[in-house]
Chains A and B, each alone.
Chain A
């Protein structure tokens, strides 16, 4: 059995911890106060970062689905499953921070702004993905179905994006009149650091989730062996 000290995991966790703290520091002390929206705008950095990680996570699920259907190895399925779970956390954060921001900026918790709407659609799609997994008993069948769904689901993302964007431009929303903030280089740096921090955090969590799934598999295997010895 491998050593209990997971070196890569610890390094990843430490790095993402430092990066998130650095990002947080920059958001509050380095980035300038936005002219029209004020301090509220500072949620923007983590909002964009979590949305980006959400979409990236579902892209990884898409790749894992293709990998599983082509090679049939369980590790692809574990990758897909883990990435969906981590991605759901981040996309939920994106939707929640989006509505928190919408309240002071546009005066309402929810507006059918395209990017917010598509994040909500993604959230629903991958909640369905999770429900599909729990509704299938056989692990092999579960993996096959989830892979197929993960692929078709991701393919609809750009189509949804166009559809929702055009839908909103046809019905112009007066609420989104406050869009287009004054973007300074310092804001750009802060956004870059936040994006990097969240991406690192994604990989850390993904790795932990994959390890957890492997341990679950090992535990089931051991239980089976114990059972057969009795």
Chain B
């Protein structure tokens, strides 16, 4: 079996499990809507305030909702004993990494597909633009990659889920700063080339983080 097919088998397994239980995506979605409400109360998101705060609110919501899905995805592997099966299977650890990271990317992506139009409608902010979608995708790739690695670490600690945000958020700062700035620029009507510094930083973050997470992931899984 080729590398891509192995990765795909893991992704298909995660998607099938999620379609069956729907616990991860639904939890992230409900959390996101709740977060939007809380932000709306906290910042009184109307008119120009909403426009100015939109990128920050959007990314804070994505980041916090993401930690829910990421830790759940790894916890499920452990509870079902599926991780042992994956480790016994004749494949490279990097295939497990890409499978899990891609699955997490898909689940976060589904949440974002709902979140972007909802956000635009609720706060009257033009987020449904190709540029914003691209920036969202770029920001999520790196976040899901490093999140997959750190979730595998966090789930094996005493504090479990509590550990993940503490480990993940400081490492996600470059991606969050770049994504918020790029989204903010695009919302204010900047062109893609005007925010290219930020998108290039996002691409660099994604490449470096995916490579390093892939290399270290094998050492994090139990022997």
Residues of A within 8 A of B (CB): 69, 121, 124-125, 128, 131-132, 135-137, 141, 144-145, 147-149, 151-153, 155-156, 159-160, 162-164, 166-167, 170
A132 and B153 contact, CB distance less than 8 A: yes
Bound-state Cα–Cα, A136 to B74, Å: 17
Q: Which of chain B's residues 155-193 have a Cβ closer than 8 Å to chain A? A: 156-159, 163, 166-167, 170-171, 173-174, 177-178, 181
Q: Give every chain A residue within 8 A of B149 (Cβ-Cβ).
A: 148, 152
Task: Choose from B177, B205, B220 the contact partner of A145 (Cβ within 8 Å).
Answer: B220
Secondary structure type dominating chain A contacts: helix
Give the number of residues in B that approach A within 8 Å (Cβ atoms). 32
Q: Give every chain B residue within 8 A of A128 (Cβ-Cβ).
A: 166-167, 170
B167 and A155 contact, CB distance less than 8 A: no
Q: In the complex, which of the residues B149, B153, B209 has the most CB atoms of chain A within 10 Å of its own CB atom?
A: B153
A163 and B158 contact, CB distance less than 8 A: no
How many contacts A-B (CB < 8 Å)?
88
A159 and B208 contact, CB distance less than 8 A: yes
Query: In the assembled complex, how far is the CB of residue B147 from the closest CB belonging to chain A, in whole angstroms?
Result: 11
Residues of B within 8 A of A (CB): 146, 149-150, 153, 156-159, 163, 166-167, 170-171, 173-174, 177-178, 181, 197-198, 201, 204-205, 208-209, 212-213, 216-217, 219-220, 222
Bound-state Cα–Cα, A132 to B154, Å: 8
23 A–B contacts from the bound complex (CB under 8 Å): A69-B216, A125-B171, A132-B157, A135-B158, A135-B159, A137-B158, A141-B156, A145-B220, A147-B216, A148-B219, A148-B220, A151-B212, A152-B149, A152-B171, A152-B213, A156-B209, A159-B201, A160-B177, A163-B178, A164-B173, A166-B181, A166-B201, A170-B181
Instruction: Write the chain B residue with the least CB distance to A150.
Output: B216
B205 and A159 contact, CB distance less than 8 A: yes
Q: Give every chain B residue within 8 A of A69 (Cβ-Cβ).
A: 216, 219
Instruction: Write the chain A residue with the least CB distance to B204.
Output: A159
Q: A135-B158, A145-B156 are in contact. Are A155 and B219 (CB under 8 A)?
A: no
Q: Give every chain A residue within 8 A of B198 (Cβ-Cβ).
A: 166
Q: Give every chain A residue within 8 A of B158 (Cβ-Cβ).
A: 135-137
Bound-state Cα–Cα, A36 to B124, Å: 48
B177 and A152 contact, CB distance less than 8 A: no
Q: A137-B158, A152-B212 are in contact. Are A160 and B166 (CB under 8 A)?
A: no
B174 and A160 contact, CB distance less than 8 A: yes
